[in-house]
Structure 1
């Protein structure tokens, strides 16, 4: 009975999330502040319910629920909502929440089609460790920051296009100035890259200690380091050469697409990665 009720609540979360994203879209098209406010409160309700499910799962499993692809995708969606609400609260960037939660809703929708996974007690005792918890948590937090950075770059490109076409209007004003969007995108990458690096180091340490066989040529390992490299090149070009603007925005957006491929595709092709179990 409890499981049925939880399923109904989860379905309600998805519906509220969809309505929130739709209202943000209406605001984006029509500059409707009322739709924006309603969407924000619906999203706040979604965040509260998501947090409840996260805590419930934590109590139910007796661990931080991120050790399966089912749990990891859910945590990623929760991170996206949390970061978008916090950044919008303190920095007041219009349309940030809308674009971020288009990604978040896609992740939540994908989450509903991923079969729920559990591990036996023996396997859990053998594989679960603090290193693994920190590895996955830091990786998903870095992915969340990279996602918001991607949104800022997308807003930059949109604003650049509107300015070039001289399409003046409320949308142009609400997007903010280009330099701020460019800087916020860069700043989030500065935060996310060290998190990803530490996550990979912890993951390698855990693999050597806990797995019977660890291969550097595994597709997930190579994909993760490819993500690290493309974002490192982005920061190197940005800092050492002082390059900014549209070219860096496109580089950042392309890097995020590589990140998504690594997260959703390479993980399923991995021969050892824990989420592939």
Structure 2
């Protein structure tokens, strides 16, 4: 029964997730508040089902599911939905939840086709330090993703204002100052979380691994991310760049984050259990 549920539940989640995004898209192009409300209810159901699946998976495996690419993608998707629902309630910026969950649905779809088996090495290397390291890293990635979404909304709003296209969508995107501020706050939260995650990961590697390479692509890529986002924060604080240039920089940084997460992890010897 549990095995059948673990097979069928993700299929139901993807269908409901797709319907939610469809209704958000209808609201986006037609300013349909009923479609938006229905989409929000469907997304809430998706979050509930994802949470249930997460607990069933934990019960089935006897551990927190973050040690493989298959598990990490699912948890990343769950984090995105959780943060987007929370921020939607707090910020009241329309379309934030729509753009965030386009990313979340993509991650969930990739997860559905990712290999789900866990190498035996993951069992051998598991520890509380590794658990904290991976969990913090994924939460930081979730915050960076939302920051990217706010930058996309900023650029879209900026373009509409520049072209003097006055229609309802313009007002629902939120003012530029608020969008830029939310993007900044999320990066301020994400950068120290990622830095602490890297420190814990390095400490775990020094303790657990017999051979440790500082020049591993994953380590270099992760610290490169810290530097890029650190420069972004510095420029923002010093007011060296205007909002548009900061938004473009933030979008470019997020693309590097995706490369680091999907590509660099594949060629890393440091994250050999995460393939």
**When the two structures are superposed, what TM-score results if normalisation uses the length of structure 2?**
0.97
Residues 68, 274 of structure 1: 8 Å contact kept:
no
Residues 94, 172 of structure 2: 8 Å contact kept:
yes
CA distance in 2, matches of 1:191, 1:144: 11
**Cα deviation per residue 1:169-226 (whole Å; 9 max; x = unaligned)?**
1100101110000011001000000000000000100111101111111111111111
Other-structure match for 1:113: 113
Other-structure match for 1:28: 28
- Counting only pairs closer than 5 Å after superposition, residues 1-277 of structure 1 correspond to structure 2 as 1-120=1-120, 123-124=121-122, 126-241=124-239, 243-277=241-275
Residues 67, 274 of structure 2: 8 Å contact kept:
no
CA distance in 1, matches of 2:132, 2:2: 31
Residues 100, 148 of structure 1: 8 Å contact kept:
yes
Query: What is the Cα deviation at residue 125 of structure 1?
Result: 5.3
Q: What SS does structure 1 have at the residue aligned with 2:212? A: coil
CA distance in 2, matches of 1:106, 1:275: 23
CA distance in 2, matches of 1:81, 1:116: 21
Distance 1:82 1:273, change over 3 A: same
Query: What is the Cα deviation at residue 82 of structure 1?
Result: 0.2
Residues 182, 244 of structure 1: 8 Å contact kept:
no
Distance 1:22 1:275, change over 3 A: farther
RMSD of Structure 2 on Structure 1 (CA): 1.3
Residues 9, 53 of structure 2: 8 Å contact kept:
no
CA distance in 2, matches of 1:124, 1:258: 26
Query: What is the Cα deviation at residue 5 of structure 1?
Result: 3.3
Q: Which ranges of structure 2 fall in alignment gaps of 5 or more residues? A: none
**Cα deviation per residue 1:34-85 (whole Å; 9 max; x = unaligned)?**
1101100100000000001111111222221111111100000000000000
Q: Which moved more, 1:232-241 or 1:146-155?
A: 232-241
Distance 1:21 1:185, change over 3 A: same
CA distance in 2, matches of 1:271, 1:258: 19
CA distance in 1, matches of 2:21, 2:2: 29
Query: What is the Cα deviation at residue 247 of structure 1?
Result: 0.3
Q: What SS does structure 2 have at the residue aligned with 1:206? A: helix
Aligned residues: 275
Distance 1:191 1:66, change over 3 A: same
**Cα deviation per residue 1:119-157 (whole Å; 9 max; x = unaligned)?**
44xx45531111100100000000000000000000000
CA distance in 1, matches of 2:273, 2:101: 24
Residues 234, 251 of structure 1: 8 Å contact kept:
yes
